[in-house]
Amino acid sequence: MSNVEQFATVVTEAGAKALSIRRGPNGAERLIIQTPGGLITREIPLRGNLGKDIQDVMATANEIVANAKILRAQPARYLSTALGSKAAGPAKAH
């Protein structure tokens, strides 16, 4: 399995997708990953140490997927889990 395939596997397991590896102006490589639907795209610098690079890629992929879930979540309707007077205490029977 090539390094590119290993990166793609780690990113896919996190729920994102690996788009490409780009070379920067000084020759440094960066892995481009994106959440499904393209909500978040991130570039991860690759240092040449496969073990460390895979850890960085996995952590970043997990982070962007979690952030995308938060951004797509339904808006909060209430500030607490209890509704109305229940939040202040039990209601008295009349």
Fold designation for 3-72: Double Stranded RNA Binding Domain (3.30.160)
The structural domains of the chain, with segments of one domain joined by +, span: 3-72
pLDDT of 94 reads 56
The answer, yes or no, to whether residue 51 has pLDDT greater than 90, is: yes
Three-class SS state of 21: strand
The dihedral sign for the CA sequence 46, 50, 53, 59: positive
The pLDDT of 57-68, averaged and rounded, is 96
Q: Within 13 Å of residue 70, how many CA atoms lie on the same side as its CB?
A: 7
Distance CA 52, CA 55 (A): 5
pLDDT of 39 reads 93
pLDDT of 83 reads 56
Q: Are 62 and 69 in contact (CB under 8 A)?
A: no
pLDDT of 42 reads 96
